[in-house]
Amino acid sequence: EIVLTQSPGTLSLSPGERATLSCRASQSVSSSYLAWYQQKPGQAPRLLIYGASSRATGIPDRFSGSGSGTDFTLTISRLEPEDFAVYYCQQYGSSPGTFGQGTRLEIK
Amino acid sequence: QVQLVQSGAEVKKPGSSVKVSCKASGGTFSSYAISWVRQAPGQGLEWMGGIIPIFGTANYAQKFQGRVTITADESTSTAYMELSSLRSEDTAVYYCARGVGGSFPEPGYFDYWGQGTLVTVSS
Protein backbone atom coordinates (compact mmCIF):
# COMPACT_ATOMS: atom_id res chain seq x y z
CA GLU A 1 0.00 0.00 0.00
CA ILE A 2 1.04 3.60 -0.56
CA VAL A 3 2.26 5.36 2.57
CA LEU A 4 1.69 9.11 2.75
CA THR A 5 3.93 11.23 4.96
CA GLN A 6 2.81 14.75 5.81
CA SER A 7 5.07 17.53 6.99
CA PRO A 8 5.36 19.39 9.17
CA GLY A 9 3.46 17.67 11.95
CA THR A 10 2.47 21.04 13.39
CA LEU A 11 2.60 24.43 11.72
CA SER A 12 2.31 27.59 13.81
CA LEU A 13 1.35 30.70 11.85
CA SER A 14 -0.59 33.92 12.25
CA PRO A 15 -3.74 35.02 10.41
CA GLY A 16 -2.83 36.64 7.11
CA GLU A 17 0.27 34.50 6.63
CA ARG A 18 0.79 31.88 3.94
CA ALA A 19 0.68 28.19 4.84
CA THR A 20 2.44 25.45 2.88
CA LEU A 21 1.68 21.83 3.77
CA SER A 22 3.49 18.88 2.23
CA CYS A 23 2.39 15.33 1.45
CA ARG A 24 4.94 12.81 0.17
CA ALA A 25 3.99 9.36 -1.14
CA SER A 26 6.08 6.20 -0.86
CA GLN A 27 5.39 5.51 -4.56
CA SER A 28 3.90 7.44 -7.42
CA VAL A 29 0.23 8.33 -7.06
CA SER A 30 -1.46 7.35 -10.30
CA SER A 31 -3.26 10.06 -12.29
CA SER A 32 -2.60 12.55 -9.47
CA TYR A 33 -5.41 10.95 -7.52
CA LEU A 34 -4.69 12.92 -4.39
CA ALA A 35 -7.16 14.77 -2.17
CA TRP A 36 -6.88 17.13 0.78
CA TYR A 37 -9.30 17.43 3.70
CA GLN A 38 -9.74 19.84 6.57
CA GLN A 39 -10.97 18.62 9.95
CA LYS A 40 -12.01 20.71 12.93
CA PRO A 41 -12.55 19.26 16.44
CA GLY A 42 -15.72 17.24 16.74
CA GLN A 43 -16.48 17.47 13.02
CA ALA A 44 -16.23 15.16 10.05
CA PRO A 45 -13.49 15.92 7.53
CA ARG A 46 -14.34 18.36 4.73
CA LEU A 47 -13.10 17.88 1.19
CA LEU A 48 -10.93 20.78 -0.02
CA ILE A 49 -9.01 19.53 -3.05
CA TYR A 50 -9.24 16.51 -5.36
CA GLY A 51 -7.20 15.45 -8.36
CA ALA A 52 -4.24 17.17 -6.68
CA SER A 53 -5.34 20.66 -7.76
CA SER A 54 -9.12 20.92 -8.26
CA ARG A 55 -11.01 22.82 -5.57
CA ALA A 56 -14.16 21.18 -4.25
CA THR A 57 -17.47 23.01 -4.45
CA GLY A 58 -17.64 26.04 -2.18
CA ILE A 59 -13.97 26.03 -1.22
CA PRO A 60 -12.43 29.54 -1.20
CA ASP A 61 -9.74 30.27 -3.76
CA ARG A 62 -7.16 30.93 -1.05
CA PHE A 63 -6.84 27.12 -0.94
CA SER A 64 -4.79 25.61 -3.75
CA GLY A 65 -3.22 22.24 -4.41
CA SER A 66 -0.28 21.28 -6.59
CA GLY A 67 2.10 18.44 -7.28
CA SER A 68 2.33 15.11 -9.05
CA GLY A 69 4.05 11.76 -8.76
CA THR A 70 5.16 11.52 -5.13
CA ASP A 71 5.21 15.15 -3.97
CA PHE A 72 2.11 17.22 -3.32
CA THR A 73 1.45 20.56 -1.64
CA LEU A 74 -1.55 22.32 -0.16
CA THR A 75 -1.16 26.09 0.01
CA ILE A 76 -3.38 28.51 1.90
CA SER A 77 -2.50 31.92 0.55
CA ARG A 78 -3.73 34.13 3.41
CA LEU A 79 -4.83 32.41 6.59
CA GLU A 80 -8.22 33.24 8.01
CA PRO A 81 -9.08 32.46 11.65
CA GLU A 82 -11.35 29.60 10.53
CA ASP A 83 -8.49 27.87 8.68
CA PHE A 84 -6.77 26.68 11.84
CA ALA A 85 -7.49 22.95 11.88
CA VAL A 86 -5.95 19.59 11.00
CA TYR A 87 -5.31 18.79 7.34
CA TYR A 88 -5.08 15.33 5.81
CA CYS A 89 -4.00 14.17 2.38
CA GLN A 90 -5.45 11.00 0.85
CA GLN A 91 -4.45 8.99 -2.21
CA TYR A 92 -7.21 7.19 -4.05
CA GLY A 93 -5.35 5.92 -7.09
CA SER A 94 -4.79 2.47 -5.68
CA SER A 95 -6.53 0.29 -3.15
CA PRO A 96 -6.44 0.61 -0.24
CA GLY A 97 -6.96 4.33 -0.22
CA THR A 98 -4.61 5.73 2.38
CA PHE A 99 -4.40 8.93 4.41
CA GLY A 100 -1.44 10.86 5.68
CA GLN A 101 -1.07 11.26 9.44
CA GLY A 102 -2.17 14.90 9.32
CA THR A 103 -0.72 18.37 9.79
CA ARG A 104 -2.04 20.50 12.63
CA LEU A 105 -2.23 24.18 11.68
CA GLU A 106 -2.29 26.25 14.86
CA ILE A 107 -2.43 29.94 15.66
CA LYS A 108 0.93 31.42 16.56
CA GLN B 1 -28.00 18.14 -1.30
CA VAL B 2 -26.60 14.76 -0.31
CA GLN B 3 -26.88 13.85 3.35
CA LEU B 4 -25.47 10.82 5.14
CA VAL B 5 -27.01 10.21 8.57
CA GLN B 6 -25.46 7.60 10.82
CA SER B 7 -26.83 5.65 13.74
CA GLY B 8 -26.07 6.63 17.31
CA ALA B 9 -23.21 5.96 19.67
CA GLU B 10 -22.58 2.41 20.89
CA VAL B 11 -20.87 0.89 23.91
CA LYS B 12 -19.74 -2.70 23.42
CA LYS B 13 -17.94 -5.40 25.35
CA PRO B 14 -14.67 -6.86 24.09
CA GLY B 15 -15.31 -9.82 21.81
CA SER B 16 -18.75 -8.62 20.71
CA SER B 17 -19.84 -7.07 17.41
CA VAL B 18 -21.21 -3.70 16.39
CA LYS B 19 -23.27 -2.72 13.37
CA VAL B 20 -23.40 0.93 12.30
CA SER B 21 -25.82 2.27 9.70
CA CYS B 22 -25.54 5.14 7.25
CA LYS B 23 -28.70 6.39 5.55
CA ALA B 24 -28.31 8.46 2.40
CA SER B 25 -30.68 11.06 1.03
CA GLY B 26 -30.63 13.67 -1.70
CA GLY B 27 -28.61 11.74 -4.27
CA THR B 28 -28.42 8.56 -6.33
CA PHE B 29 -27.44 6.05 -3.66
CA SER B 30 -26.89 2.92 -5.71
CA SER B 31 -24.29 4.09 -8.19
CA TYR B 32 -21.82 5.74 -5.80
CA ALA B 33 -19.30 3.99 -3.60
CA ILE B 34 -19.81 4.23 0.14
CA SER B 35 -16.72 3.83 2.28
CA TRP B 36 -16.18 3.50 6.01
CA VAL B 37 -13.35 5.46 7.62
CA ARG B 38 -12.50 5.34 11.30
CA GLN B 39 -10.64 7.68 13.62
CA ALA B 40 -9.33 6.58 17.00
CA PRO B 41 -9.22 9.24 19.72
CA GLY B 42 -6.60 11.85 18.87
CA GLN B 43 -5.48 9.88 15.82
CA GLY B 44 -5.71 10.12 12.05
CA LEU B 45 -8.09 8.70 9.47
CA GLU B 46 -8.10 5.05 8.46
CA TRP B 47 -10.00 3.60 5.49
CA MET B 48 -11.68 0.30 6.36
CA GLY B 49 -13.50 -0.65 3.18
CA GLY B 50 -16.23 0.29 0.78
CA ILE B 51 -19.09 -0.88 -1.41
CA ILE B 52 -20.95 0.19 -4.52
CA PRO B 53 -24.57 -0.67 -3.68
CA ILE B 54 -25.64 -1.41 -7.26
CA PHE B 55 -22.95 -4.08 -7.51
CA GLY B 56 -23.16 -5.28 -3.92
CA THR B 57 -19.50 -6.26 -3.81
CA ALA B 58 -17.39 -4.88 -1.00
CA ASN B 59 -13.65 -4.23 -0.86
CA TYR B 60 -11.82 -4.25 2.46
CA ALA B 61 -8.52 -3.01 3.76
CA GLN B 62 -6.33 -6.00 4.53
CA LYS B 63 -6.06 -4.96 8.17
CA PHE B 64 -9.79 -5.56 8.65
CA GLN B 65 -10.28 -8.59 6.38
CA GLY B 66 -12.27 -11.25 8.18
CA ARG B 67 -13.53 -8.87 10.87
CA VAL B 68 -15.51 -6.29 8.92
CA THR B 69 -18.56 -6.72 6.73
CA ILE B 70 -19.94 -3.86 4.65
CA THR B 71 -23.37 -4.19 3.08
CA ALA B 72 -25.95 -1.96 1.46
CA ASP B 73 -29.72 -2.00 1.13
CA GLU B 74 -30.77 -0.18 -2.03
CA SER B 75 -34.44 -0.19 -1.02
CA THR B 76 -33.71 2.02 2.00
CA SER B 77 -30.57 3.78 0.68
CA THR B 78 -28.69 2.57 3.72
CA ALA B 79 -25.19 1.19 4.08
CA TYR B 80 -24.00 -0.86 7.02
CA MET B 81 -20.65 -1.64 8.59
CA GLU B 82 -20.37 -4.54 11.00
CA LEU B 83 -17.16 -5.07 12.95
CA SER B 84 -16.72 -8.25 14.96
CA SER B 85 -14.35 -9.52 17.67
CA LEU B 86 -14.14 -6.04 19.10
CA ARG B 87 -11.18 -5.02 21.20
CA SER B 88 -10.31 -1.84 23.06
CA GLU B 89 -8.24 -0.61 20.10
CA ASP B 90 -11.44 -0.46 18.04
CA THR B 91 -12.70 2.43 20.15
CA ALA B 92 -13.09 5.16 17.56
CA VAL B 93 -15.43 7.39 15.63
CA TYR B 94 -16.65 5.57 12.54
CA TYR B 95 -17.59 7.65 9.50
CA CYS B 96 -19.35 6.70 6.31
CA ALA B 97 -18.43 8.75 3.26
CA ARG B 98 -19.46 8.91 -0.38
CA GLY B 99 -16.62 8.09 -2.74
CA VAL B 100 -16.34 9.65 -6.20
CA GLY B 101 -13.66 9.91 -8.84
CA GLY B 102 -12.34 6.40 -8.35
CA SER B 103 -12.61 3.13 -10.20
CA PHE B 104 -13.71 0.34 -7.86
CA PRO B 105 -12.01 -1.18 -5.90
CA GLU B 106 -10.23 2.17 -5.50
CA PRO B 107 -12.36 4.10 -3.00
CA GLY B 108 -12.32 7.51 -4.71
CA TYR B 109 -12.18 10.76 -2.82
CA PHE B 110 -14.87 11.58 -0.28
CA ASP B 111 -17.15 14.50 -1.01
CA TYR B 112 -19.87 13.83 1.57
CA TRP B 113 -19.44 12.44 5.07
CA GLY B 114 -21.75 11.21 7.76
CA GLN B 115 -21.65 12.86 11.16
CA GLY B 116 -19.71 9.99 12.70
CA THR B 117 -20.64 7.28 15.20
CA LEU B 118 -18.62 6.81 18.37
CA VAL B 119 -18.07 3.16 19.21
CA THR B 120 -16.60 2.55 22.65
CA VAL B 121 -15.25 -0.90 23.49
CA SER B 122 -14.92 -1.41 27.20
CA SER B 123 -15.40 -4.17 29.72
Q: State pLDDT tens for residues B95-106.
A: 999 999 877 778
SS3 A67: strand
For residues B57-76, average pLDDT: 94
Q: Nearest-CA distance from B110 to chain A in Å?
A: 7
Per-residue pLDDT band for B13 (boundaries 50, 70, 90) equals very high
Rounded to the nearest integer, the mean pLDDT of chain B is 94
Contact between A92 and B106 using a beta-carbon 8 Å cutoff:
yes
Q: Which residues of A touch B115 (CB under 8 A)?
A: 44
B62 vs A: CB within 8 A? yes
- % of chain B residues with pLDDT over 70: 100
CB-closest option in B47, B105, B113 to A99: B47
For residues A10-20, average pLDDT: 98
Rounded CA-CA distance A28/B99 in Å is: 21
When computed from its CA atoms, the radius of gyration of chain A, rounded to whole angstroms, is 13
A36 vs B: CB within 8 A? no
Per-residue pLDDT band for B76 (boundaries 50, 70, 90) equals very high
* pLDDT for res A65: 98
Residue A92 near residue B107, CB atoms below 8 Å: yes
Rounded to the nearest integer, the mean pLDDT of chain A is 96
